[in-house]
């Protein structure tokens, strides 16, 4: 023991065994991981229209129910920055994190259209992404068929402070405050929605910020404004047709 030959043999065998075990484990768990990831992402998208899906009961939906709703009631399409629908792409395969790395004019945007079985209305769910205090934040905004009124929102983050910035996700009253806010003013100009420190002043275009998380709140404001601006060409075309 202790000779370099033995050490080499030992490390080699150890490495090979470890690599084989890990490769095997990865192979076995991968399909389950992919399904879990899909359910998680689809749940986040549907969460923007949670008021249409039973409100508080939304959290009780099983994984299979989420997949079923997504399959039956959600249309997916991908649009480019000029507002044209791109054929042959599925919205669920578009990752905004990846798109952010492309030059702005080449980016693709996912659009999920939720067809409500109750009132046969369409809800347009748009995905947005921006920066919080520590890391990225992202979310989904659902617009009613007038393409102006917000039907709901959901947010998530990578590493905001628990109890402060992380409240955009943890505190259900924050996304709920976006419901019935308007993206456009009465003249039809785009004004977006502002997360206002010290309390909302404009009942149509502002929501209360979370105490102690100014930078995350500003990040949400900026994310919504920029994100919806990207979708504007598509929304404008949709309004005309």
Spatial CB neighbours of 53, under 8 Å, sequence gap ≥ 6: 46, 61, 69
Answer yes or no: are the C-beta atoms of 20 and 12 closer than 8 Å.
no
The residue among 40 and 85 lying less far from other proteins, judged by its C-beta, is 40
Q: Is 22 in the site for other proteins (CB under 8 A)?
A: yes
Answer yes or no: are the C-beta atoms of 202 and 172 closer than 8 Å.
no
Among 51, 149, 161, 204, binds other proteins (CB under 8 A): 161
Q: Which two tokens stand for residue 234?
A: 């598509």
Select the span of 26-34, 65-73, 114-122, 221-229 touching other proteins (CB under 8 A): 26-34
The residue among 163 and 203 lying less far from other proteins, judged by its C-beta, is 163
CB of 156 to other proteins, least distance (A): 9
Among 56, 71, 87, 118, binds other proteins (CB under 8 A): 56
Place of tokens 């393409």: 147
Q: Is 135 in the site for other proteins (CB under 8 A)?
A: no
Closest among 73, 84, 86 to 45, alpha carbons compared: 73
Closest among 145, 135, 84 to 115, alpha carbons compared: 145
Among 93, 98, 115, 173, binds other proteins (CB under 8 A): 173
Dihedral over alpha carbons 171, 74, 120, 173 (to 10 degrees):
0
User: Which region holds residue 20: left if phi is over 0, alpha if psi is between -120 and 50, else beta?
Assistant: alpha
The residue among 30 and 146 lying less far from other proteins, judged by its C-beta, is 30
Q: Is 54 in the site for other proteins (CB under 8 A)?
A: no
Mark 2-21 with x for binding to other proteins (rule: CB under 8 A) and - for no binding.
x---xx--xx--xx--x--x
Binding positions for other proteins, 175-234, rule CB under 8 A: 211-212
Select the span of 33-41, 111-119, 196-204, 231-239 touching other proteins (CB under 8 A): 33-41
């Amino acid at each position: 023991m202790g000779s370099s030959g033995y050490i080499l043999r030992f490390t080699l065998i150890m490495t090979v065994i470890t690599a084989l075990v890990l490769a095997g484990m990865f192979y076995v768990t991968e399909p389950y991981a992919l399904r879990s990831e899909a359910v998680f992402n689809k749940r986040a998208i549907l969460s923007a229209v949670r008021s249409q899906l039973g409100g508080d009961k939304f959290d009780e939906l099983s994984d299979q129910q989420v997949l079923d709703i997504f399959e039956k009631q959600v249309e997916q399409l991908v649009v480019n920055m000029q507002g044209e629908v791109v054929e042959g792409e599925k919205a669920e395969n578009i990752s905004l994190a990846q798109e952010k790395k492309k030059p702005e004019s080449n980016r693709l945007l996912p659009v999920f259209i939720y067809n409500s079985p109750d009132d046969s209305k369409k809800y347009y769910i748009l995905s947005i992404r921006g920066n919080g205090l520590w890391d990225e934040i992202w979310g989904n905004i659902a617009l009613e068929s007038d393409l102006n009124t917000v039907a709901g929102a959901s947010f998530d983050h990578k590493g905001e402070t628990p109890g402060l910035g992380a409240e955009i996700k943890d505190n259900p009253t924050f996304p709920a405050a976006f419901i019935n806010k308007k993206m456009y003013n009465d003249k039809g100009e785009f004004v977006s929605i502002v997360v206002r420190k010290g309390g909302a002043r404009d009942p149509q275009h502002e929501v209360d910020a979370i105490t102690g998380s100014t930078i995350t709140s500003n990040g949400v404001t900026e994310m919504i404004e920029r994100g919806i601006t990207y979708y504007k060409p598509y929304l404008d075309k949709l309004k005309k047709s």
